[in-house]
Amino acid sequence: MRLAFVVLLAASTASAAPAIISIGNDALPTTVAAAHHGLGLLDRERDASVVVVDDADLPEISEEMHHAFHRCGGMIQSPSLDEALHPIQLRSTAVDYTLDHAAAVDAVLPQMKATTIAKTIGELSAMQNRYYKSASGAEASNWLAERWRSFATRPGVTVQLVDHGYPQKSVVLTIPGTTRAGEVIVIGGHLDSIAMGGLSANAPGADDDASGIATLTEIARVLLANDYRPERTIKFIAYEAEEVGLLGSQAIVRDFKRANTNVVGALQLDMTNYRGSNKDIWLMKDFTSAAQNAFLVKLIEAYTGATWGMDACGYACSDHASWTRAGVPASMPFESRMADRNKHIHTGKDTLALSNGEATHALAFARLGVAYAIELGKGELGEHDSHQLWQLLALGLLGAAGLLSRRAS
């Protein structure tokens, strides 16, 4: 049953920059306390409420969601009350979760490197912050786009910066499908980082979520290095502005709705490198797809060598919630139980040193991600590498023959 009303709960919501957010009912009292410029309750259902707050209060509300409820960002920001009350629904064709491409998965797994993941984490976390309104947040988008372009050299593979009105942009790498190109798989993580202080904060965000972006980058790198040609289109997305209400992923959902995009599955990589619990990979069972989670269990057991468990993270704890809300099967494998989470995220102490300067833990998530891409994307590895090898051998033989000829003369 929906209760629709407008009630003033704090001083005043008359603001030059109102923001409409949906937030879990368990977090509503905390949200009221953090909304210093006032909060208006617009709608309440069983699980969540829709409220209007001042945009200036969003960083502190996000911080309270992190500290009190272990959610990043723990809310969904909508451009209008109508969208908040009636979430966008995307086309999503049902798929069969079969494991029948073991040869392709097994061929690429040995090429995944923890050292490469760690290097990317280090480079991203060396930036002052990746806050979505900051200059360094904007630079992070440009930096990542160039990194992805460096290995997305095959004709047809594209890398785009997607502008949704903020200095930071979402970054999208697309590997087009062959026989089922109209069916899209999304593998994503959020690019932004946050700490108290906003634009000027020191927010390295090595774990939250440079680790997810670095893991995502390694998956894409290895697939393209092996000239992987999926039947279904695969989009790798680094979302802007997750920490203040899943802004980037919500904007992508709206773009997909306008394009009538058919999204058959979404995987969220948000924090992959801090080993806080006794098992490697924890699948969030709330606000996710039970069927796709069962598929991930099969992938973990078949390909990763990792241990796994189930946990819950609460309302809108990351960008997978944007896809679930839009009717798309979505999953979020996480680095630990929520109770054992990294306590230093959203601070200047969220550095790679917390994981001993390495990315061994994240490697299990990279293996899972590449298995997800191939077993859901289907398709085949290309012959690029073998052709290149024969070309190099031929050039070497020709070069040697030329050298002998010159010496003989």
Whether the pLDDT of residue 371 is over 90: the answer is: yes
Q: Is there a single domain that holds both residue 119 and residue 43?
A: no
Whether 374 maps to a domain, the answer reads yes
Judge contact between 28 and 50, C-beta under 8 A: no
pLDDT for the residue 198: 85
Q: Is there a single domain that holds both residue 153 and residue 121?
A: yes
Whether 260 maps to a domain, the answer reads yes
Task: Provide the residue range defining the domain that includes 360.
Answer: 102-384
Average pLDDT, integer, range 49-57: 93
Whether 211 maps to a domain, the answer reads yes
Q: Is there a single domain that holds both residue 80 and residue 113?
A: no
- Which residues lie below 8 Å from residue 131, measured CB to CB, with a gap of 6+? 137, 168, 192, 193, 194, 198, 199, 201, 203
Q: Is there a single domain that holds both residue 26 and residue 169?
A: no
Q: What are phi and psi of 318, to 5 degrees?
A: -170, -175
Average pLDDT, integer, range 381-404: 45
Average pLDDT, the chain: 90
Whether 394 maps to a domain, the answer reads no
Whether 265 maps to a domain, the answer reads yes
Whether 401 maps to a domain, the answer reads no
Q: Using omega within 30 degrees of 0 as the cis cutoff, is the peptide bond preceding 319 cis? A: no
Q: Is there a single domain that holds both residue 110 and residue 162?
A: yes
Average pLDDT, integer, range 22-40: 92
Query: Which pLDDT tens digit goes with each residue over 218-265?
Result: 999 999 999 999 999 999 999 999 999 999 999 999 999 999 999 999
Whether the pLDDT of residue 31 is over 80: the answer is: yes
The domain spanning residue 360 has which CATH number? 3.40.630.10
- Among the listed ranges 38-52, 175-189, 386-400, which one has the minimum average pLDDT value? 386-400
Q: Is there a single domain that holds both residue 125 and residue 77?
A: no
Total domain count, the chain? 2
Stated as kind and residue range, the H or E segment containing 186 is strand 180-190
Average pLDDT, integer, range 180-189: 98
Q: Is there a single domain that holds both residue 77 and residue 140?
A: no
Quote the CA–CA distance of 326 and 25 in Å, as a whole number.
Answer: 20
pLDDT for the residue 69: 86
**Could you say which of 85, 111, 143 is where a domain stops?**
85
Query: Which pLDDT tens digit goes with each residue over 278-320?
Result: 999 999 999 999 999 999 999 999 999 999 999 999 999 999 9
Quote the CA–CA distance of 248 and 246 in Å, as a whole number.
Answer: 6
Position of tokens 């790198």?
221
Whether 392 maps to a domain, the answer reads no
Residue type, 117: I
Stated as kind and residue range, the H or E segment containing 282 is strand 281-284
Quote the CA–CA distance of 197 and 200 in Å, as a whole number.
Answer: 6
Q: Is there a single domain that holds both residue 22 and residue 112?
A: no
Decide which of 55 and 252 is more confident: 252
- Tell me the catalytic residues: 190, 208, 242-243, 270, 346
The domain spanning residue 77 has which CATH number? 3.30.70
Q: Of the candidates 175, 186, 143, 182, which has an alpha carbon nearest to the alpha carbon of residue 161?
A: 143
| pTM (global) more than 0.85 | yes
- Which residues lie below 8 Å from residue 129, measured CB to CB, with a gap of 6+? 136, 137, 193, 194, 195, 199, 201, 202, 203, 204, 205
Q: Is there a single domain that holds both residue 235 and residue 320?
A: yes
Whether 396 maps to a domain, the answer reads no
Whether the pLDDT of residue 125 is over 50: the answer is: yes
The C-alpha torsion from 346 through 248 and 130 to 25, rounded to 10°, is -20
pLDDT for the residue 16: 58
Q: Is there a single domain that holds both residue 80 and residue 106?
A: no
Q: Is there a single domain that holds both residue 148 and residue 230?
A: yes
Strand 281-284: give its sheet, edge to edge. 308-311, 281-284, 333-334
Calculate the alpha carbon distances from 349 to 19, 83, 125, 214, 387 in Å: 30, 37, 11, 19, 47
Q: Is there a single domain that holds both residue 208 and residue 343?
A: yes
